[in-house]
Chain A
Amino acid sequence: MASEDFEIGEDGLTKDGYRALEKRARTSMYVRNLLVLAILLASYAVFLLYYREIGSDAIFWPVTLFTILLTIYILVGPAIYYARYRYRIGEDRIDVRRGIIFISHEIVPVERIHQLEVSRGPIDNMFGLADVTITTAGGVASIQHLERNVAEDIADSLNEYVNKIVKERS
């Protein structure tokens, strides 16, 4: 996917009609990642205490390198993830583009949806955000970090569509 695919126009959409997340979604991602970073650094501190006793370089350097790389990923990740997160709710499909190193483009035909769920974790809740989980007969897809009212609207409109299909078929 080319970088222009992610550029947002004046109408708030990409040239393909995709939407971006609100800026507080990025803040929410940072808060979550900082919590993960705190756990990681605490684990590394415990490792250093343990390392003093055994003192083997063969363990120290791989663990240190891994911790540094993970720290960079945790700190830089949200900005890239936010910049590349795009979603589109079409009449026939749900498209989600996301990723940091690998970018995935997920397509779910609306006809295949069985169930919809709006969920909020404690951090997303602090920022008024929510996730929409889309269940099909073959797996689950999700649109994360949406504004709560947007998530509710998406879930309602898709639910309405699913119910309409069920009624037509029963």
Chain B
Amino acid sequence: MPEDAVQDGTGSPDIPLDEPMLYHWSVVIENTLYAAFILFFIIVLPLISEENSDPRLLLLIPIAYLGSVAVAAVMLYWRWRRTTVTFRETDLLIVRDTVFKRDQRIPYNKIASINVNRGVINRIIGTSKLMFNINSSVNAITPEAAVVLRMDLADKIRHELSRKMYGSNLDAHTEDNVIPSVVSISNKDIVLHSILSQPTIATIIGAFFLGVSIMEAYSMMIGGGMNATLIVALLMFFSSTVIPMLVQLFHYYNYKIYRIKDTVYIKCGMIRLYNTSFKVNKINAVRLKSPLIARLTGRYFLEAEVVGLGSSEGGNNNEPSPLICPLKDRKTIDAVMSQVIPEFVYERDPIKQPGAAAKTIYVHAAMWSAACMAVLFAIIYWATELGVADPGLATGLYFLSACSIVIFFAHGAFSRRIVEMDTGENHFSFLWGVADRVITTVAYDKVQIVRIKDGPLTRPYGLAKCRVRLLTAAGGGPVVSGYFRIQDLNVIPETVLARIEDGRYDYKAYL
């Protein structure tokens, strides 16, 4: 990282400090368009779908719709006129003086991240949406405030606040043009990432529905006529495979990542631009992922679970964790880790699940197989009762139940050998998965609750599973281990407590 070169960039630009500012007027347009979209479904659709050809009603529909949109526009304009944002010396003040009054103060030292989100309307008009996130367990995935400003002003404010918060001394121009990405990621890499980073199960489902679509299209070409199965199969193919790929492609296009001091910056986006920044001390955990097909080509990708990182309005629960490195070979991934998040690099000395875990794993496989067979045989029974069973269906279901047994036992056999855990000094890690593997490396200091759970099958062997809850974060969730000896799992809570006790855990380091 050419840190020294960029640290000498131009100083803080002028920001209207202590002056209440209105949001950019484009907010009114954006929100009115959104309201028009919603009102279309509420007012127009129900009326035109009724079998009513009364011309008066047909005339009333556009009048009612346009009238509602106009009322919404006036209300949104009024709200815009009465909402101000003031950037003060130590905090940000948002005042809304409408029916629902709001007086929101966000101290700069509580801000975990400031992200920029630029949608199509923002890009046409030349504005940016600044998203302010604080360290909150409640709103960890929702920005506390979203302020729309002229793009140059938003960039200035973001950089000035970054300077205050992170010590970065860059302006937007320097940052965009001088600092190279830590890792060279071409858009071809992003296309590859979008395709190969999908979970294997999604790929299998997608391939199945694509196959069905092709067969149905072929039979339609021969027999003629429209086929409902073709439409359903195509819809399933697009929703399970194509759309998730396109979402990834649009999100991570033009990807760039760099680190300045303790702050990681990620810029990406094809249509909507995302400028994300967060302090390294806000990272709970790092996930090294390798879906089956990607792993067969020797590729992995790296994600971080970050506290206080909402980069879209509305608190999207499915918001992905920030991508630290798209699909690359292991050597590149290791290099990126050591440059961007060296805090999470440590010598792993993992332990595999003990041999006794095999019994539990195979009993589980047998139970799942039995459940699966019960469902399939119930289907055959009902199909016979209803008189719709034919020899082909029964053979297919018997074949499916045989396959399911093989899959469950093979999965168990592989997981027994693959799943592992490791407890280091500052971090611990779990490797999970058979086809799609994930190594989750967690900082002990981010652990909030540990739950060690044993059952009738594991108890006789002194084995249990561990579930660790971390600080709430976007794209985060509990981290779960495989079956390990209880004393091995107990190392995790004991280390957490020991670090608090002996002062290795310093709360100031995470503010």
A residues in contact (CB < 8 Å) with B: 1, 56, 58, 92-93, 99, 101-109, 111-112, 114, 135-139, 141, 169
Contact = CB atoms under 8 A, between A and B. Distances in A.
A1 B455 CA distance: 9
Contacts of A169: 507
A104 B471 contact: no
Interface string B449-470: 1111111100100001000011
Contacts, number: 79
Report, nearest first, the 8 A-B pairs whose CB atoms are least far apart.
Answer: A138-B448, A137-B137, A136-B448, A138-B469, A107-B493, A139-B469, A104-B453, A102-B455
22 contacts: A1-B459, A56-B385, A58-B378, A58-B382, A102-B453, A102-B456, A103-B453, A103-B454, A103-B459, A104-B452, A104-B453, A106-B449, A107-B497, A114-B137, A138-B137, A138-B446, A138-B447, A139-B448, A139-B449, A139-B469, A141-B449, A169-B507
Nearest to B456: A101
Nearest to B385: A58
Given A107-B449, A138-B137, A139-B469, 19 more contacts: A58-B385, A93-B493, A101-B455, A102-B455, A103-B459, A105-B464, A106-B451, A107-B497, A109-B496, A112-B447, A112-B448, A135-B137, A136-B449, A137-B472, A138-B446, A138-B469, A139-B448, A139-B472, A139-B478
A17 B507 CA distance: 29
A112 B449 contact: yes
Contacts of A138: 137, 446-449, 469-472
B97 to A, nearest CB: 31
Contacts of B382: 58
Contacts of A58: 378, 381-382, 385
A155 to B, nearest CB: 18
Nearest to A112: B448
A143 to B, nearest CB: 13
A106 B500 contact: no
A76 to B, nearest CB: 14
Contacts of B472: 137-139
B453 A105 contact: yes
B478 to A, nearest CB: 8
Given A103-B454, A136-B469, A138-B469, A108 B500 contact: no
Nearest to B137: A137
B282 to A, nearest CB: 12
A58 B374 CA distance: 12
A5 to B, nearest CB: 11
A111 B500 CA distance: 8
A109 B471 CA distance: 13
Given A1-B459, A92-B500, A169-B507, A137 B454 contact: no
B495 to A, nearest CB: 11
A39 to B, nearest CB: 26
B4 interface: no
A118 B455 CA distance: 30
B109 to A, nearest CB: 12
Contacts of A108: 448-449
Contacts of A105: 451-453, 464
A93 B470 CA distance: 16
B501 interface: yes
A108 B447 CA distance: 9
Nearest to A104: B453
A106 B449 CA distance: 7
Nearest to A115: B137
B106 to A, nearest CB: 18
Contacts of A135: 137
Contacts of A109: 447-448, 493, 496-497, 500
Interface in B306-336: none
Nearest to B466: A105
Contacts of A56: 385
B448 A137 contact: yes
Interface string B364-394: 0000000000000010011001000000000
A132 to B, nearest CB: 14
Interface in B408-465: 446-456, 459, 464
Contacts of B486: 1
Contact of A92 (B450, B478, B501): B501
Contacts of A103: 453-455, 459
Contacts of B454: 1, 102-103
A104 B453 CA distance: 4
A85 B478 CA distance: 24
A141 B496 CA distance: 17
Nearest to A3: B459
B351 to A, nearest CB: 20
A1 B485 CA distance: 11
Nearest to A56: B385
B135 to A, nearest CB: 8
B372 to A, nearest CB: 15
Interface string B487-511: 0000001001100110001010000
A103 B454 CA distance: 5
A169 to B, nearest CB: 6
B476 to A, nearest CB: 9
Contacts of A93: 493, 497
Contacts of B459: 1, 103
Nearest to B505: A111
B453 to A, nearest CB: 4
A1 B382 CA distance: 44
Q: Which of B381, B469, B478 has the most CB of A within 10 A?
A: B469
B281 to A, nearest CB: 14
Contact of A107 (B137, B385, B450): B450
A139 to B, nearest CB: 4
